[in-house]
Amino acid sequence: MSELVTANDGSSLMPGAKSLENREYNLFIGPNHPGVEGNFALKLTLEGDTIVKAKTEAGFLHRGFEKLMEERLFIQNIAIVCRICVPDPDPNEENYARAIEALADIEVPRRAQFIRVLVLELSRLASHLFTFGGHAGTIGLYTMPNWSISDRDRILDLFEELTGGRVYHIYNMPGGVRRDFPAGFASRVRDVLDYIEGRLPDYDNLFFNNRILRKRAVGIGVLPRERAMEWGTTGPNLRAAGFAHDVRKDDSYEVYNELEFDIPTLKDSDAYSRLMIRRKEVVQTIGIIRQVLDKIPEGPVWNKQPNPLKWRVPAGDVYVRSESSKGEYAYYMVSDGGVRPYRVHVRGASVTHGVHILENLLVGTRIEDASQLMFSLDACPPEVDR
Amino acid sequence: MNSVIGLVVWIVFYPLIAFTVGVFLGGYGRKFTARVQRRVGPSWIQPFFDVIKLMRKRTNISHGYMHDISLMMLVSGTMLSLYFIPVPGFHYFSQFGDFVVIIYLLLIPSLGMALGVGETANPNGSIGISRALQMLFGYEVPFVLTFIGMAMLNGTTSMYELVQIQQSGGIATWGIVTHPLLGIAALFALQGMMNEKPFEVIIAPHEIATGPMTEMGGKYMGMMFIQHLINLFVELTIYANLFLGGAKNWFELLFKLFVLFTLILSVNSVFGRFRTDDAMRFMWKIPLPLAAIGVVGIMLGIG
């Protein structure tokens, strides 16, 4: 930093005075800032409108999920894991249940596996609709959040009917799911799918084909293709960089290998591509749910397990993973043969996307685009500090 | 004597009338936007309740005298400009100040806000103000140019006389009909003046946490609301007087204001906001050349 006033020999005449070249200032965004995704914060250093340094802070929602799980019975943790990602809770439940099933060698009835896929995909659909609204809000197009989030409510109605909960479902149990479809549920799911499919052209006209969105999102926050793998990107953000990687295909679980669906990819890897990849996935998800409804067999939905208060899961460790709307989720579970897990580690997509990648991509971006960039990566703040 | 009493009554009640119309316009705006967004929306007079609520709040934080004075500049600048805008039944002050005076007075609120928000030292507010002053150059230039065109055409800078001339020949003599280029250019500028999307870069909640309003609460925010509501009336009436033939009675004026506002709200509801530089670029690329072509056309005697 050069001194403000210097003598002919270069020595400072005003030692300690700040330089005129020091044009940087700090801006704190969050967690009550409208442009922040959840309880999260960005500490930005700006020069003019351009971000020169970015630091994320996720400690506003620390609930210590992983440590909590070590202190609770296996069955009690089902009510905890869903809270790790609010908009898309079901991959956590399913992963957790599948990890216990792998350790205890429990077989899941086929009907339950189909129902799990249905719930996972409905959750993905609801999460994507939420993301569309969030992203549109960052550019001031508030009609879209009102549309997509009210449409999402129809999915939440279905969840309420099936599981009793709208946001947190606590529905996937080791050995299956808690309850079967209520009467007429499948036809109501089809109605909601038809409705959402019919709304997509409206979304396109209002939002996805909106010239201002293109002007603002194209070329923003480009995640270089060669960096995408290196930085641990997964899910839609990776597919927007051109990699056709999807755990549902690559390491299939439940009954995904019996269902037909495509893995859409895009090449540009910018904020617009990351949004559009989710738009394309909505179509695939609707197709998957319809197939589930067509193919779902009759039968039980739960293999009864021992008394959960005394249930000792055999000692061992297991790593299970799944594809959530945010990216790849994985649970590493260690059991010492007791009634509680010895250790549960959650590998979520949001630490990678919402911290490391976001901090890197924010540098050089303008303040106008910071919020949009954050929403385009679609991180889940509670999952960052778990 | 009667005319003096009438004048005093107008001076006292004109701001109240403008505020009341502003409340209904603001309420209509919220209702309209809510319906586009498939919501029910608040009451038609919700802005009135908002102002009452905010003005009843006790303000514990002050950022100094300049902060307080700035809000007086904000409201008084808008109210002062109001007196120079002719409306049915009242055009007394129009003889003392023409369009140039109105434009000058309308700058006072922006400058007042800049002073006050600068005093709060909140970076979001400062960014918002710098955006507001940038945008001023964006929309003010084409808007002034459209007025220059109208003044050249009609040989007067008086808004009252412009209204009289337009009313003499019916719709055929309205500015928007005789010089659509100027009318369209001014419409773009009006969208920016009213800080509606796609030019809503000053408030931009997701970017700068509502900008100038970040440090405003309670009565300060209430004053900003009052200014905003009166400003709705002022800006829409200026456009109606320049390009829609003014109005012979209040019913006609209100009808024109609501139609014009509906047009602005429609655009506002289905567009996001530009980046600041894109907003400026748009203003200088579309409305400014349109206005310039319109003025050149008038100079060459075309139209």
- List pLDDT tens digits, range A289-333: 999 999 999 989 888 888 888 889 999 999 999 999 999 999 999
| Partner residue opposite A371 with nearest CB, options B207, B271, B274 | B207
Residue B248 near residue B89, CB atoms below 8 Å: no
Region A218-222: mean pLDDT is 90
User: To 10 degrees, the CA torsion angle through A32, A37, A43, A47?
Assistant: -110
| Edge-to-edge strands, sheet with A316-323 | A316-323, A328-335, A343-347
Residue B2 has pLDDT above 70, yes or no: no
Residues of B in Cβ contact (< 8 Å) with A137: 206
Which residues from A are below 8 Å from B122, CB to CB? none
CB atoms within 10 A of CB A168: 19
Q: Does B195 touch chain A (CB under 8 A)?
A: no
Cα(first)–Cα(last) distance of chain A, in Å? 40
Helix axes B99-120, B65-83, angle to 10 degrees: 160
Q: What domains appear along chain A, each with residue ranges and CATH number? A: 55-384 (1.10.645.10)
Inform me whether the C-beta atom of residue A55 falls under 8 Å from chain B C-beta atoms. Answer: no
Tens of pLDDT along A19-64?
A: 545 678 888 887 888 878 878 888 989 888 889 999 988 888 788 8
- Residue A16, burial from CB neighbour count under 10 angstroms (0-12, 13-18, 19+): exposed
Quick one: tokens of A158?
């279905």
* A206: contact with B, CB 8 A cutoff: yes
Cβ neighbors of B192 (< 8 A, separation 6 or more) are B135, B138, B139, B199, B279, B283
Q: Which is higher by pLDDT, A6 or A284?
A: A284
- Condensed to tens digits (0 to 9), the pLDDT of residues B7-22 reads 888 888 888 999 999 9
Q: Count CA atoms closer than 13 A to A269's CA, side-chain side.
A: 20
Structure tokens at B140: 């003010």
- Tell me whether the omega of the peptide bond preceding residue A87 falls within 30 degrees of 0, making it cis: no
The distance in angstroms from the start CA to the end CA of chain B is: 45
pLDDT band at A156 (very low <50, low <70, confident <90, very high): very high
Residue A4's pLDDT is what? Answer: 43
* Residue B3 pLDDT: 80
- Listed in sequence order, the DSSP H helices in B61-98 are 65-83
Greater pLDDT, A34 or A361: A361
From chain B, the residues in CB contact with A371 under 8 A are 206-207
Residue B207: list chain A partners with CB under 8 A: 35, 138, 367-368, 370-371
d(CA B281, CA B188): 13
CB A340 within 8 A of CB A320: no
Q: What are phi and psi of A154, to 5 degrees?
A: -65, -35
Closest of B222, B229, B223 to residue B19, by C-alpha: B229
* Whether the predicted pLDDT of A10 surpasses 60: no
Examine the pLDDT at B77 and tell me if it is beyond 60.
yes
Q: Are A193 and A289 in contact (CB under 8 A)?
A: yes
- Mean pLDDT in residue range A104-122: 93
For the stretch B233-253, pLDDT in tens is 999 999 999 999 888 889 999
- Tell me what the mean pLDDT of segment A97-103 comes to: 93
Stretch 141-180 of chain A: residues touching chain B, C-beta under 8 Å: 141-143, 146-147, 150
Contact A49 B200 (CB under 8 A): no
Collect all residues of chain A within an 8 Å Cβ-Cβ radius of residue B274: 212, 215-216
Nearest to A215 among B36, B276, B278 (CB): B278
Q: Where are the beta strands (DSSP E) in chain B?
A: none
Q: What is the pLDDT of residue A294?
A: 93
Of B37, B205, B269, Cβ closest to residue A35: B205
What is chain B's mean pLDDT, rounded?
88
Quote the ipTM score: 0.87
Measured between beta carbons, the chain A residues lying within 8 angstroms of B272 are 136, 139-141, 210, 212-213, 216
**ω into residue B198 within 30 of 0, thus cis?**
yes
d(CA A125, CA A137): 19
Give the pLDDT confidence score for residue A11 in this predicted structure: 58
pLDDT of residue A38: 78
The pTM score is 0.89
